[in-house]
Amino acid sequence: MRRMREDLRPGSRPRPESAFLIRRMTREDLPAVMELEKASFRNPWSFELLQRELSHDWSVIFLLEEPLPEGGKRLLGISIFWIVHDEVHVLNVATAPEHRRRGVGRELMEATLAEGRARKCSLATLEVRKSNEAAINLYKSFGFRPVGVRPNYYVDEGQPPEDAIVMVLDF
């Protein structure tokens, strides 16, 4: 866990085994995160909601970035989760559409679950769209198992409601 904590410091370098850099989101990141949200979801999180998450002690937002050859970094994905008592509750994992299938979601989930373990959590939970097979398979690869369904959980304007599958992972 020490390596994870070092990776999350502002200005930290990529981990040796990865070309990606994972760090905590700051207020200065809001415009870039909003762009990623809008590109990733039909109903993205609002600026206000993201800003509010930054102010909660129990809320964590990880950014996954890729260093650019010319300098700077490119935002590829985010993970938003809560740590409440001994539970990690994953609220949102997003990968920029043009960077999917590169391991971004996997690295974000690894960091999210590592943070939960470092904080002595015993359980992780999440909801996922029933139709999102790629995400369901990713979560299953970490050991998450489906435990229930939330009917009509996702309601998108102009689309029929969609159920969410509730998944749980015991640490």
Contact (CB, 8 A) for 138 and 127: no
> Is the pLDDT reported for residue 103 higher than 50?
yes
Q: Is the predicted pLDDT of residue 98 greater than 90, yes or no?
A: no
Residue 6 has pLDDT above 50, yes or no: no
User: For 5, left (φ over 0), alpha (ψ -120 to 50), or beta?
Assistant: alpha
Per-residue pLDDT band at 95 (split at 50, 70, 90):
very high
Verify whether residue 127 is a known catalytic residue.
yes
CB atoms within 10 A of CB 54: 16
Quick one: three-class SS letters along the chain? CHHHHHHCCCCCCCCCCCCCEEEECCHHHHHHHHHHHHHHCCCCCCHHHHHHHHHCCCEEEEEEEEECCCCCEEEEEEEEEEEECCEEEEEEEEECHHHCCCCHHHHHHHHHHHHHHHCCCCEEEEEEECCCHHHHHHHHHCCCEEEEEEEEEECCCCCCCEEEEEEEEEC
Q: At how many degrees (to 10) do helices 30-40 and 47-55 cross?
A: 130
d(Cα 127, Cα 150) in Å, to the nearest integer?
Answer: 8
Residue 19: pLDDT band with limits 50, 70, 90: confident
Kindly report the backbone phi and psi dihedral angles of residue 164, in degrees, each rounded to the nearest multiple of 5, phi listed first. -110, 140
Beta-ladder partners of 81:
60, 90
The active-site residue out of 53, 65, 107, 139 is: 139
Residue 4 pLDDT more than 90? no
Q: How confident is the model at residue 17 (pLDDT cuts 50, 70, 90)?
A: low
- In the chain, the percentage of residues whose pLDDT exceeds 70 is 89
Q: Name the catalytic one among 53, 65, 127, 154.
A: 127
State the pLDDT at residue 157: 73
- Tell if the pTM clears 0.95, that is, is over it: no
| 98 is a catalytic site residue | no
